[in-house]
Amino acid sequence: MISAAQGRVQGRSPAAVIDIGSNSVRLVVYEGVTRSPTVLFNEKILCGLGKGLVKTGKLNAKAVQSALRALRRFRALADQAGAVSLDVLATAAAREAENGSQFIKEAEAIVKEPIKVLSGREEAYYSALGIISGFHDPDGIAGDLGGGSLELVDVKGRKIGDGITLPLGGLRLQDMSNGDLGDAVSIAQKSLATAKLLSNGKGRAFYAVGGTWRNLAKLHMSAEHYPLHVMHNYEIDFAEAQRFLKRVAAGDVDNMRGIEDVSKNRRALLSYGAIALLETINLMRPSKIVFSALGVREGFLYSLLPESEQLQDPLISAADELATLRARSPTYARELAEWSGDSFAALGYKETEDEKRYRRAACLVADISWRAHPDYRGSQSLNMISNAAFIGIDHPGRAYIALANFFRHEGVANSVPDPDLAAIASPRLLEFSRVLAAIMRISYPFSASMAGVVPNLSWRNGPDGLDLVINKTKADLIGDVPEGRVQQLAKLTGKTIRLVVG
């Protein structure tokens, strides 16, 4: 079933994935199998299938019934959402328990699909694909902490090293230590001593995947009053991570600032997750810890794409989709993305590869707030973009794109709306955001945000500075407003710029 809703990308068929983990069972329905997948529906149940597995060797009986009940609902929800495919993945608890095969048999009867019980190596592989999917040119060690196991794998670009699995999931570590945090530390250290691949990660990034680790990131954000509440690609440097994790690992989480932002169901495992992460980075000595919202599910989804789509930039893909859904003319947005690159070069700004990507994405989403009242387009753009479900972008990049679009609507001379957000962007990106906004503000009165005019604008060196040349076939569009905008750019950049007909 394909929706006729105008807020959806047409021609896409929803795809559902159920992840049966040691602690939770989750359903995610995606709009389609794409490079930058959009979530239509997401629900999890904390069943605790792996609770007590260390002592009994079996899945928790009460948890099994809870999981089967959730799976029945999830099958119905996938059908209700119009999913044309349903893939079900099961991880550590189901593959290790004595009664795991019986549980899988009952679960398959409910979901009416074969269930893929992943080996530890497969879990590590799909976790690595999740990192490759969600980050631009990643370089480091990916670690995926579930309830029953910890998967570690080296990732560099699109290359995946051999992965290993360790019995260090949050639930398992709690059970093996009998709730004693000191014993949990010893157990983690002994298990991680076998993880030789960590020695290859010194000075590189550690990519942290999994619900418990995501909640650690949320706790750190709250404690630090971090202004951008987006967990994906949130970074903590090594020294700060050690300081923070030591406190959480000590067990005093209930008195920590920001603990109210972590669900009560998750708090019991925070200290065990902190121990696993702290001991991992103590051995690895990474430059930073980078938290990921993408893991096994998204890695599996990414594996279904043809290579040509895997190679696409997820940030540009998502920004282009947003333009298609919300801009007055997506073609104009693409024209602006091209012309802004010519403009930066003409003005003498040298961009890094990432800065070029961010500028292009900012142009693609420059017109998504046009339906809002003019007084609120700037603030709406700022909020929508800074908090968008983008992947393949770090937090300074988010701030750059959001601020550029704020200034595009409010004016380049305006004060920064959120100094904390501007601080994330860095002085260089803050300057770039104003320059890009000034370029956008030139193109708008010439084009009325419609396609066909921007390709008729070009730059050339003039006798006293730069000439912005408009093709003579579009000369009637010259007027006070575009001329004024050109001089705003000149003042901002310290250049002499003339608007001429060519």
Helices (H), 304-376: 307-310, 314-326, 330-346, 353-364
pLDDT 10s digits, 436-483: 999 999 999 999 999 999 999 999 998 889 999 999 999 999 999 999
Same-domain pairing of 328 and 418: yes
How far is 348 from 459, CA to CA, in rounded Å? 12
pLDDT 10s digits, 361-411: 999 999 999 999 999 999 999 999 999 999 999 999 999 999 999 999 999
> 488 in a domain, yes or no?
no
CB 119 within 8 A of CB 99: no
| Residue range of the domain that includes 64 | 15-117
> 231 in a domain, yes or no?
yes
Same-domain pairing of 129 and 237: yes
Two tokens, residue 57: 């060797």
Share of the chain above pLDDT 90, in %: 90
Residue where a domain terminates, one of 85, 117, 149:
117
Q: Domain holding 415: CATH number?
A: 1.10.3210.10
Single-letter amino acid code for the residue at 453: V
Same-domain pairing of 103 and 209: no
Mean pLDDT of the region 268-290: 97
Please report which confidence band the pLDDT of residue 1 belongs to, taking 50, 70 and 90 as the band edges.
very low
How far is 413 from 480, CA to CA, in rounded Å? 19
Q: Domain holding 86: CATH number?
A: 3.30.420.40
Same-domain pairing of 289 and 155: yes
Q: Domain holding 235: CATH number?
A: 3.30.420.150
Please report which confidence band the pLDDT of residue 264 belongs to, taking 50, 70 and 90 as the band edges.
confident
Mean pLDDT of the region 131-148: 96
> 416 in a domain, yes or no?
yes
Q: Model-level pTM greater than 0.75?
A: yes
Mean pLDDT of the region 19-29: 95
What is the model's pLDDT at position 255?
A: 83
How far is 160 from 127, CA to CA, in rounded Å? 10
The number of folded domains in the chain is 3
Please report which confidence band the pLDDT of residue 5 belongs to, taking 50, 70 and 90 as the band edges.
low
Lowest mean pLDDT among 111-115, 162-166, 342-346, 394-398: 162-166
What is the model's pLDDT at position 50?
A: 92
How far is 154 from 198, CA to CA, in rounded Å? 8
What is the model's pLDDT at position 200?
A: 95
What is the model's pLDDT at position 432?
A: 98
> Distance between alpha carbon 132 and the CA centroid of its chain, in Å?
11
Strand order in the sheet with 39-45: 39-45, 25-30, 15-20, 85-90, 115-117
> 197 in a domain, yes or no?
yes
> Distance between alpha carbon 347 and the CA centroid of its chain, in Å?
32
Same-domain pairing of 110 and 135: no
Same-domain pairing of 402 and 390: yes
Mean pLDDT of the region 261-269: 81
Q: Is the pLDDT of residue 188 over 70?
A: yes
Same-domain pairing of 247 and 164: yes
> 94 in a domain, yes or no?
yes
Same-domain pairing of 44 and 61: yes
> 352 in a domain, yes or no?
yes
The residue behind tokens 């080996």 is 119
Residue where a domain terminates, one of 263, 298, 333:
298
What is the model's pLDDT at position 4?
A: 56
Same-domain pairing of 60 and 139: no
Mean pLDDT of the region 66-95: 96
Single-letter amino acid code for the residue at 88: V
Same-domain pairing of 125 and 108: no
Same-domain pairing of 66 and 168: no
How far is 290 from 237, CA to CA, in rounded Å? 9
Lowest mean pLDDT among 133-137, 265-269, 351-355, 394-398: 265-269
What is the model's pLDDT at position 194?
A: 94
How far is 489 from 325, CA to CA, in rounded Å? 30
Residue where a domain terminates, one of 267, 298, 329:
298
How far is 183 from 171, CA to CA, in rounded Å? 14
> 76 in a domain, yes or no?
yes
> 495 in a domain, yes or no?
no
Q: Is the pLDDT of residue 489 over 70?
A: yes
Query: Which residues are paired to 461 by β-bridges?
Result: 466
Mean pLDDT of the region 263-278: 90
What is the model's pLDDT at position 32?
A: 96
Query: Which residues are paired to 460 by β-bridges?
Result: 467
Same-domain pairing of 245 and 136: yes
CA-closest candidate to residue 268, choices 143, 207, 181: 181
Q: Is the pLDDT of residue 2 over 60?
A: no
Mean pLDDT of the chain: 95
